[in-house]
Amino acid sequence: MERLPQVEFEDFAALDIRVGRVLTAAYLEKARRPAIRMEIDFGDPLGVLRSSAQVTRHYTPETLIDEEVLAVVNFPPRRIAGYLSQVLVLGMVNPTDTGEIVLVRPDRAGTIGWRLG
């Protein structure tokens, strides 16, 4: 995987990346590629937002419930297989197999709503 071009700090600072807890999760049946739809609680002031993620290689809906994840919460919503995805859940992508994704998560509990900085 090649290195991406440099960006300014302001570009990074414009991303609102927060910790949320997965409340519900289910397979997104109409998706072209296997995906899981989730409702994620980001605490006040954001509340519960929805996401679709192609993370089925290592996760099932049952294993995601109550897990904490990081997500970009200030991208415009996207409709994926009829499902409105409001946030982008972050994961590490295997450079030799882009279908293998491992979620990015905080290593301490109790950080719901905290912003990455």
Q: What is the mean pLDDT of the chain?
A: 96
41-87: per-residue pLDDT in tens?
A: 999 999 999 999 999 999 999 999 999 999 999 999 999 999 999 99
Residue located via tokens 């994961």: 91
Torsion of CA 16, 22, 28, 31, to 10 degrees: 30
- Token couple for 48: 């519960």
Which of 24, 81, 92 has its CA nearest to residue 55? 92
Residue located via tokens 């509990």: 109
pLDDT at 113: 97
Confidence of residue 20 (pLDDT cuts 50, 70, 90): very high
H or E segment and range at residue 64: helix 61-64
Q: Nearest 5°: phi and psi at 37? A: -95, 140
Answer for the pair 22, 38: CB distance below 8 angstroms, yes or no: yes
